[in-house]
């Protein structure tokens, strides 16, 4: 039976989960996969953390050189996160001919071209299922499940922190309180910026769109907007209009070009994504042959993400050939790829206006000049001679909305409170 030695870099939440699965399921893998997987060593400076996992102290390495020079290590699992040390360690492993399995979405989104070049040079494997959507096998689906299709679009909830917060807000909880609760449950970091400002989802969308469309989609090309400015009033308005608010990652491959964007979006309550709640994730794919597919599950956590890591370990251990990107993986997009920034969508706008005769006509005139029509309009009285207008538009263009907002901001009688997109 084939024996494969593994080294784990970092025994935190993700690395610890992978270690548990590898050790607890070792006999199961022998029986079902006909491979003996054993953890040869780990790089972890926190010895108490290692002890709590039951990791043998004598197997703790002092530095990366010990691991990459060990002939009994064939696969290196990177689970330390961040960029500088992770990149250094991953490149060291690849240059030593070791296959690498990583959960690091920021590292892969920004530097996959460098990592893949090193892997090719030294005939090493490079696997990254755990970098996107936790335990949901979205990358394996794109690589080995729907390769008979031309995937035209991808839309999903790919960040559990923001989905938890927005779920709580739909129940009436204020943003700050929902964030604190997410942190208390371990769904959000003490510094939640990467999640709530949309960076985490944008890293993942860069990776997933590149795989789906077979062309490099750099992270810098992803339009990004987070949820930190979302108000409870907006969430309640959406609920009243039949929508749920989600931080969506959207990618489309169209004849006019590629659009990739992450932003808060209202989706109709009847849409499958509307029912994805709390820390769960889901990705909605459209292929020309298979039609629509949705993958759903836990997007983060020790065992779900550890599951994705170990799945990659098993795949690498049981496959001789290494496979790399189906496109030219460079730092930048190919010259013939056009990116659409003036994308189409419906929009939700909430305005505070002077409650005087003729105000609706003035608002309509601004929209009319940009070719924007309204599908739903709610007006409610506010205090001190003010009124709140909530409008949902028909499909229009991003620039048309931006031009309208710019005009409203020059009017003393109108204040733009919020602008959100609505999925069609």
Alpha carbon of residue 88 to chain centroid: 24
The residues, any chain, with a CB within 8 Å of residue 37's CB and separated by 6 or more, are 4, 6, 22, 26, 29, 313, 314, 317
Q: Are 317 and 75 in contact (CB under 8 A)?
A: yes
Please, are residues 88 and 111 in contact by the beta-carbon 8 Å criterion? no
Burial (CB < 10 A; 0-12, 13-18, 19+), residue 176, is exposed
Name the residues annotated as catalytic.
204
Tell the residue number behind the tokens 């003729």, with chain if given.
358
Contacts of 100 (CB under 8 A, 6+ apart): 75, 76, 77, 78, 90, 93, 94, 115, 119, 124, 125, 126, 127
Which residues, 6+ apart, have CB-to-CB distance to 235 below 8 Å?
166, 169, 170, 245
């Amino acid at each position: 039976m084939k024996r494969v030695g593994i080294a784990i870099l970092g025994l935190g939440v993700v690395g610890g989960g992978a270690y548990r699965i590898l050790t607890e399921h070792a006999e199961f893998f022998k029986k079902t996969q006909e491979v003996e997987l054993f953890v040869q060593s780990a790089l972890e400076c926190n010895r108490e953390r290692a002890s709590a996992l039951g990791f043998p102290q004598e197997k703790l390495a002092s530095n990366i050189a010990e691991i990459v020079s060990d002939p009994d290590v064939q696969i290196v699992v990177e689970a330390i996160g961040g960029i500088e040390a992770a990149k250094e360690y991953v490149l060291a492993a690849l240059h030593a001919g070791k296959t690498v399995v990583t959960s690091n979405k920021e590292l892969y989104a920004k530097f996959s071209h460098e990592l893949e070049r090193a892997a090719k040079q030294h005939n090493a494997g490079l696997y990254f299922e755990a970098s996107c959507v936790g335990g949901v096998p979205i990358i394996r689906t794109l690589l080995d499940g729907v390769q008979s299709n031309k995937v035209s679009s991808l839309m999903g909830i790919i960040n559990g922190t923001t989905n938890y917060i927005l779920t709580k807000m739909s129940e009436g909880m204020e943003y700050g309180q929902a964030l604190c609760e997410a942190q208390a449950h371990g769904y959000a970091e003490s510094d939640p910026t990467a999640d709530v400002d949309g960076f985490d989802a944008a890293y993942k969308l860069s990776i997933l769109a590149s795989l789906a469309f077979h062309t490099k989609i750099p992270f810098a090309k992803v339009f990004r907007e987070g949820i930190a400015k979302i108000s409870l009033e907006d969430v309640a308005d959406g609920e009243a209009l039949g929508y749920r608010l989600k931080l969506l990652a959207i990618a489309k491959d169209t004849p006019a070009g590629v659009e990739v964007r992450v932003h808060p979006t209202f989706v109709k309550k009847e849409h499958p994504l509307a029912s994805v709640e709390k820390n769960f994730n889901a990705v909605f794919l459209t292929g020309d042959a298979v039609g629509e597919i949705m993958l759903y599950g836990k997007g983060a956590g020790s065992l779900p993400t550890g599951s994705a890591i170990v799945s990659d370990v098993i795949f690498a251990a049981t496959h001789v050939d290494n496979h790399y990107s189906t496109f030219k993986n460079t730092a930048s997009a190919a010259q013939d790829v056009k990116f659409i920034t003036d994308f189409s969508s419906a929009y939700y706008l909430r305005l505070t206006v002077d409650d005087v005769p003729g105000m609706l006509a003035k608002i309509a005139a601004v929209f009319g000049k940009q070719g924007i029509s309204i599908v739903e309009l709610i007006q409610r009285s506010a205090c001190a001679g003010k009124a709140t207008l909530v409008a949902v538009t028909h499909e229009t263009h991003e620039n048309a909305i931006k031009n309208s907002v710019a005009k409203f901001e020059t009017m003393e009688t109108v204040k733009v409170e919020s602008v959100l997109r609505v999925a069609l």
